[in-house]
Amino acid sequence: MKKKYDVIVVGAGPAGSMAARSAAANGAEVLLLEKDREVGIPVRCAEGVGEIGLKAVVDEIKPRWICQKIYGVQLISPDEQMVLLEGEQMGYVLNRKVFDYDLAQMAADAGAVVQTKTFVNGLLFTDGYVSGVRLNSLGQQREISARIVIGADGIEARVGRWAGLRKHFAMHDVETCAQVTAAHIDLDPRYCYFYFGKEKAPGGYIWAFSKGEGVFNIGLGIGGDFSGKISAMGYLTRFLEEKFPEAAVLTTVVGGVPCAPPIKKMAGNGVMIVGDAANHANPVSGGGIIRGMLAGKIAGQVAAEAIKNGDVSDNFLNTYSKIWFEGEGKTHSFFYKIKKGIYNLSDEDLNRTARLMNSKPMKERTLINLFKSALIHQPSLILDVMKAFAS
Ligand SMILES: Cc1cc2nc3c(=O)[nH]c(=O)nc-3n(C[C@H](O)[C@H](O)[C@H](O)COP(=O)(O)OP(=O)(O)OC[C@H]3O[C@@H](n4cnc5c(N)ncnc54)[C@H](O)[C@@H]3O)c2cc1C
């Protein structure tokens, strides 16, 4: 590591690696820092992505990233009705250990310096601008200067808070998650399974995504407002005991996902935030891999332009916020509203939705019709559903 870079990216998740790659590919001198020993580990993720989204952010989908192709989703209501939504090649369950690792390598191939086991513990400020980071690398405390710091530090989101761009997450805007990777699961691997119900996962859902050969990521998220006497892990353990008593648990993780409204200003003088650190995950599904990568790509491009123009002001860097809002902002806001409507559904509402969906011909069992059926008693939200899917 040198003493000075054009751009320092904090966090080598998908958003950070993408930001580092795009800044470096556009001519900036970039340092990408990761606190963990290895990029991609531990995996706190169910690893599901849509095919269209993935194709939009990478030039080529490498076979080694894919554990399982997904051809449809099975939605299970509280009274155990199954609703199948099927489509052509809907998505993939990734191997994020390999995927995240490769993204960091792609950043390095574009010219970024990558350094793991390096914890950023503060920002440097000069004349009202962020001007670098304080870090502890392999036990050594150091300061490194930069014209721009990009916070891609996930749900911990320290960089954004230090820079005054964001506050702590509100409880109701975070899903508390627990997940196991378990063997001996007797489900069809071609589908992703989602289980709903207040008793199972209040304010959230349970998922089961195949990793191949009878191994599944099975996890759940519960809304922050519902975290009470029973923890996310408590709900998950109960579900596994009831549904999959034969499960052999290979790994266990806990984590949080922001399901929060967008942040208007995602940049300040000499600083930008991307990915979970900037609330980019989809507020309904909690999916944040692709959305973080998209934001990282834009932020990296704008950062490199700012360096070329010699202008790292709040004004210039917020070109990134403008581009993001033009592409993603409206949909994100609509999904946030829809999430609130879905949280209020009773188990009976969910059972009724399943009955309604199963009474439709297969070709009408689509996601948009599902939301429309679920929110039938909240007509103002149906309009938001239409807008979200139209944009
Ligand atoms: C249980 C669970 C299941 C999920 N399932 C899915 C799913 O199926 N599909 C999907 O799209 N999304 C899913 N998500 C969400 C998805 O994992 C995140 O949205 C995505 O990882 C966000 O990418 P990111 O790069 O913004 O942050 P992260 O992937 O969290 O990366 C942030 C990185 O920053 C590093 N870091 C943090 N602080 C510092 C620091 N101070 N110094 C240096 N490094 C630091 C961290 O170690 C980490 O590597 C899930 C999340 C959870 C918790």
Give 96-141 pLDDT, tens digit per residue: 999 999 999 999 999 999 999 999 999 999 999 999 999 999 899 9
Closest among 100, 101, 107 to 32, alpha carbons compared = 107
Q: What is the largest CA-CA distance in the chain?
A: 65
List where CATH 3.50.50.60 sits in the chain. 4-44+97-169+263-317
Tell me how far the alpha carbon of residue 282 is from its chain's centroid: 7
What CATH number does domain 69-93+171-258 carry, 3.30.1330.10, 1.10.20.60, 3.30.9.10, 3.40.50.1820? 3.30.9.10
Q: What's the pTM?
A: 0.95
What's the rounded Cα separation, in Å, for the pair 347 and 198? 6
Atom of ligand 1 nearest to the CA of 255: 53
Name the CATH superfamily, with its identifier, for domain 4-44+97-169+263-317: FAD/NAD(P)-binding domain (3.50.50.60)
Atom of ligand 1 nearest to the CA of 288: 19
Strands (DSSP E) found in 96-232: 113-115, 118-126, 129-137, 140-151, 174-183, 191-195, 205-212, 215-223
Closest among 288, 285, 264, 265 to 388, alpha carbons compared = 285
Within 10 angstroms of residue 302's Cβ, the number of other Cβ atoms is 27
Decide if pLDDT at 227 tops 80. no
- Residues near ligand 1 (Cβ within 6 A): 10-16, 33-36, 44-49, 119-120, 152-154, 156, 158, 177, 179, 219, 255, 257, 275-277, 281, 286-289, 292
Confidence at 88, pLDDT banded by 50, 70, 90:
low
List where CATH 3.30.9.10 sits in the chain. 69-93+171-258
The answer to whether 24 and 111 have CB atoms below 8 angstroms apart is yes
- Strand-pair category, 30-33 with 113-115: parallel
Decide if pLDDT at 298 tops 60. yes
Strands (DSSP E) found in 213-309: 215-223, 248-258, 267-268, 271-273
Q: At what angle do helices 289-309 and 14-25 cross, to 10 degrees?
A: 30
Closest among 72, 103, 23 to 290, alpha carbons compared = 103
Note the residue count of the chain: 391
Decide if pLDDT at 18 tops 90. yes
The residue nearest atom 35 of ligand 1, judged by CA position, is 11
The residue to mutate among 136, 289, 324, 332, having the most atoms of ligand 1 within 8 angstroms of its beta carbon, is 289
- Tens digits of per-residue pLDDT, 344-359? 789 999 999 999 999 9
Closest among 139, 160, 168 to 10, alpha carbons compared = 160
What's the pLDDT score for residue 26? Answer: 98
